[in-house]
Amino acid sequence: MSSYKTLDPQNMHQSIYDFSDHIEIAMDIGKSISLNRPYADIRNIVVAGMGGSAIGGDVVRTLAKYELNIPIVVSRNVPPTPGIRKKPFLLLITHGIKVHK
């Protein structure tokens, strides 16, 4: 029988197990942020990410569904999903990019 580390070399089991703790930490961080200007003119929120990077946007969209009066769009496409309205608040999420100078 294969060892557990062979079946789960990136330790996804632990990541899934810790997920709810990470959500709580992220919510605490969000509550402590002080924005420098009002964002009353935002008409929608776009979370752009490919693969697993977009999963956070799915979670936020689900959790904020009844809290926000503006849509949250999760885009996994390049370029982002057509039909995005004017004045979006754009979040670009990536994981594991190597930056070359």
pTM, whole model, 2 decimals?
Answer: 0.64
Average pLDDT, the chain: 80
38-49: per-residue pLDDT in tens?
877 888 888 888
CA angle 78, 86, 56 (to 5 degrees): 50
75-99: per-residue pLDDT in tens?
887 666 666 666 778 777 777 655 5
Residue 23, pLDDT > 60, answer: yes
For residues 33 and 23, give the distance between their C-alpha atoms in angstroms, rounded to a whole number. Answer: 16
Across 13-36, average pLDDT:
88
- Of all residues in the chain, what percent carry a pLDDT higher than 70? 82
CA 46 to chain centre: 10
Contact 89, 45 (CB under 8 A): yes
Q: What is the pLDDT of residue 78?
A: 67
Q: What is the pLDDT of residue 97?
A: 57
Phi and psi at residue 6, to the nearest 5°: -70, -40
